[in-house]
Amino acid sequence: MNLTPEQEQIGKDNFNEAVSLTRRDFITAAAATTTGLGAAYFGYEKLKGKPVKVGFIGTGDEGSVLITQHPPEYMEIVAIADLRPSNRKKAIHGHGNEHRVGLINKLGQEKASQIQQFEDHKQLIAAKDQLGLEAVVIAVPLSQHAPIAMAALDAGLHVLSEKLMAHNITECKDLIKKADEKKLLLAVGHQRHYSVLYDNANQLVKTGLLGDIRHIRAQWHRNNSFPGRDSWRKKVPKEDAQALADKVKEFGYDDMDELVNWRLYNKTGGGLMAELGSHQLDACSIFLGKVHPLAVQGYGGKNFYGVEGIGSKDKQEDDREIDDHVYVTFEFPGPNYDAETNPRDVCIVTYSSINTNRWEPYGETVLGSRGTLIMKTEKEALLFKESSPSTGGGGPDQRLWVINSNDGSGPVLDAYETTAPSAGASDTSQAMGDKISRGYTEEMEHFCHCIRTNNFKGPFEGGLKCNGTVAMADAIMALTSNLAMKHKIRIEFKPEWFDPNDPATPEAEFSDKLA
């Protein structure tokens, strides 16, 4: 749904209004902090002692985002490693944009010059004692997440790996077992778990303000149809080709194109569901109480790239293996679901990702019986009330406020006629700041905090919010949806897939059944 600027502002004011009234004391305390909201908001103390010494393995697009967002008061980067010389150079000097500023701009010339550079992860891990290394942050192509994480764990290092956790679920389970065996922390970068915006939105969902949620719609739409334009198709830099001509196969790649454009191939990537959909299915499952889905089905295809007569010549000659359009439907259990006694208490989550239109870029829309919550590009949250016989108006032009229900069941949405938001809405907006954090900084803060405090507790007990078990569930959703689309079947999820101690996996089951 495309809203006018006026309607969007009303939605943002409505969200802030609801947060201010349902979390007034908490927001007031958070607003009083003079630094980032991470420790104050998520309830852990500021780091005591020295920052954790960390090495970054992989300094490409995502690794450079993490370098830019890393918290120096919690994390000291002592080394970086990347196969590609061009990536190592960008890690130091930046990509020329605010999202990837580079270590010199982040830390200053003197500190940046002290960070050691290695040509691969093996060299960095081998130097761990010399570096005083305690942990690594991994942001490499998907197929190498598990091998490098396993090498780091074997070396006694804590691990924060980018999503998706691994290329298959067997690797996920092996990593969880290894981390437990070594008594090390294993975190995965589904950063919405550490987003203040998403956490506040989820609190509104948990209070029941949206009513009964029967449908969530999520999408990540992009338009890469223009000649020469494609964010996932990149040229191989000459300096990288020269430096790696004889080394690339040693690290799991057939050639340089597979290393640079790894997202396009099944051997190295996981397609749109792994790269984009996994983030948003994670967000949807958070809104539904982080429950595991019941089933998935969908369609995925190469409908644009490599299709004769469609698009420009470079698009028709594109040899990518992954789908360029995906549409999936998940069935999630509702709050009172029971397979025997209440099987129809189900919430449907739909997800689409396309490459030929960006009318609605990316986000999630939570559709409840009493209200609608719209999350836009991880930066904005909009809230709208449904019309009702008792409280009157609703929709995108209606301001709302929160009252206590007549039956004592909790807060509910009401509407009122005014042209301006309340002071509470303004206070909440100020408390969250002008620039909403996407959660990268907070996830790295908490990772380091858990290392320093030796915290191996679960997500609901103050431990890592996205540990191996949580992240494996996100990987299961993404990779099982790929199986459903590939084989054109509806797949029911099995509890044993989500059990780290059970060897059962969706890949093994369906490779056997469909062989």
pLDDT of residue 514: 55
For the stretch 37-55, pLDDT in tens is: 566 678 777 888 899 999 9
Residue 87 falls inside a structural domain: yes
pLDDT of residue 35: 42
Q: How many structural domains compose the chain?
A: 1
The DSSP 8-state label assigned to residue 60 in this structure reads S
Alpha-carbon span 162 to 189, nearest angstrom: 5
Residues paired with 363 in a beta bridge: 219, 376
Residue 175 falls inside a structural domain: yes
Residues paired with 373 in a beta bridge: 366, 383
Closest CA to 100 of 110, 112, 91: 91
Residue 186 falls inside a structural domain: yes
Closest CA to 286 of 378, 184, 382: 378
Alpha-carbon span 322 to 352, nearest angstrom: 15
Q: In which element (H, E) is residue 431 found?
A: helix 423-432
Alpha-carbon span 83 to 63, nearest angstrom: 13
Alpha-carbon span 103 to 88, nearest angstrom: 10
Token reading at 380 = 């904005």
* Cβ–Cβ under 8 Å, residues 302 and 323: yes
Type of residue found at 148 = I
pLDDT of residue 33: 42
Closest CA to 433 of 6, 70, 27: 27
Length of the chain: 515
Residue 289 falls inside a structural domain: no
Residues paired with 368 in a beta bridge: 213
Closest CA to 59 of 28, 87, 20: 87
Q: Is the dihedral of CA 103, 105, 106, 110 positive or negative?
A: positive
Which domain covers residue 129, as residue numbers?
37-194+442-466
Distance of CA 187 to the CA centre of its chain: 12
pLDDT of residue 108: 97
β-pairing verdict for 75-81 and 346-354: unpaired
> Would you call 278 helix, strand, or coil by DSSP?
helix
Residue 159 falls inside a structural domain: yes
| 180: CB partners within 8 A, 6+ apart | none
Alpha-carbon span 204 to 126, nearest angstrom: 48
Longest CA span, the chain: 73
Alpha-carbon span 163 to 161, nearest angstrom: 6
pLDDT of residue 83: 98
Residue 143 falls inside a structural domain: yes
Query: Is the bond into 367 cis (omega within 30 degrees of 0)?
Result: no
Residue 287 falls inside a structural domain: no
* Cβ–Cβ under 8 Å, residues 124 and 137: no
The DSSP 8-state label assigned to residue 34 in this structure reads S
Q: What is the pTM of this model?
A: 0.93
What's the CATH number where 56 sits?
A: 3.40.50.720
Residue 63 falls inside a structural domain: yes
Extract the residue ranges of the chain whose pLDDT is less than 70.
1, 24-40, 407-409, 416-435, 512-515
pLDDT of residue 411: 79
